[in-house]
Chains A and B, each alone.
Chain A
Amino acid sequence: MSGALRLALAWLASALVYLLIIVLPAPRPLYLPAEGRVALEASPEVITIGWYGAVVLASCAGPLVWWLSGRLRGGRVSPLMERRLVLAAVLALLLQAMILAWFELLSP
């Protein structure tokens, strides 16, 4: 697997982990404004854990996927296919950004 593809996958994995932590129902009471105010009343420190945790775990996911993909053997990809796969990863990242935009800016 080429360097670009591995990097694209690592970037994608990192963003995906971040997205899941932010959007999944479990951390939401710590994160969403309306519910967050309730948690904030109890403890100002608790409220910040959601974002820091998401950043730290996302920062771990990228290098982990980079390392794991480096251990894969075989499966040679043609340059054209490699370019297409990188483009697909970039489009997936764009989709994730749009989901986050909907989640923060447009959802009620």
Chain B
Amino acid sequence: MTSLSLRARVKRKRGCRTFVVSATLLPLVLLKLLLVLHAAVAVALAGAATHNGLLGLSSLRGRPPRVRLERFYPSAVLWLFLASVLIGALLYPSFRVDVRAAYLDEAMPLGTRLFEFKEHLVAMGLFAAVVQRVLAGRDEMTAADRLLFDVARVAVMLVVFYAGLVGFFLVSVKSV
């Protein structure tokens, strides 16, 4: 363990009990719980985004839309995406200090690069999730609406695939 991570994980005394906290000042137990929750939400999101993206691909090929599913999945994808980003944002400072700086930058720079690109794609995909949800609420779509709707759904699916694969890979290397 480097001196940096030793400094990041400080012990705080509260009464007679001692807590180990990370650089984010969140208890380690809470960070682990958040990480498991992040993974659970990611699995649900992958399922919803896959269904949604496949419907988008089907529509891009000119097949007739399935109205009920086209209203359900975009909402599910947006809320799960937002939940995943929010939990990820809470974990991010700990990742930066305890995982990335303390381990990945030295031992596996490619892991850092893959993760940072994941964050960029997620940031761009967040707006795609909003776009497809806004368009899903419309009763009538123009050709341009339909094109953007389908492309946004497929884009979200691809972003979720990449983010999920990289996330699970890095957690298998070192978690918070």
Q: Chain A's nearest CB lies how many Å from the CB of B144? A: 4
Contact A2 B142 (CB under 8 A): yes
- Given contacts A18-B123, A44-B97, A54-B123, whether A4 and B117 have CB atoms under 8 Å apart is no
Contact A4 B101 (CB under 8 A): no
- The distance in angstroms between the C-alpha atoms of A85 and B124, with both chains bound, is 19
- The distance in angstroms between the C-alpha atoms of A37 and B116, with both chains bound, is 15
Q: Tell me if B96 counts as interface (CB < 8 A to partner A).
A: yes
Contact B143 A51 (CB under 8 A): no
- The distance in angstroms between the C-alpha atoms of A56 and B8, with both chains bound, is 26
Contact A104 B144 (CB under 8 A): no
Interface size class of B (residues with CB under 8 A): 35 or more
Chain B residue contacts of A69, Cβ below 8 A: none
In chain B between 95 and 123, which residues have their CB closer than 8 angstroms to a CB of chain A?
Answer: 96-97, 100-101, 105, 109, 112-114, 116-117, 119-121, 123
Q: Chain B's nearest CB lies how many Å from the CB of A55? A: 5
Q: Tell me if B131 counts as interface (CB < 8 A to partner A).
A: yes
Contact B151 A104 (CB under 8 A): no
Q: Tell me if A101 counts as interface (CB < 8 A to partner B).
A: yes
- Given contacts A14-B127, A55-B123, whether A40 and B135 have CB atoms under 8 Å apart is no
**Chain B 78-103 per-residue mask, 1 if CB under 8 angstroms from chain A, else 0:** 00000000000100110011001100
Instruction: Please report A residues at the B interface, Cβ cutoff 8 Å.
Output: 2-5, 7-8, 10-11, 14-15, 18, 22, 33, 36-37, 40-41, 44-45, 47-48, 51-52, 54-55, 58-59, 62, 79, 82-83, 85-87, 90, 93, 96-97, 100-101, 104-105
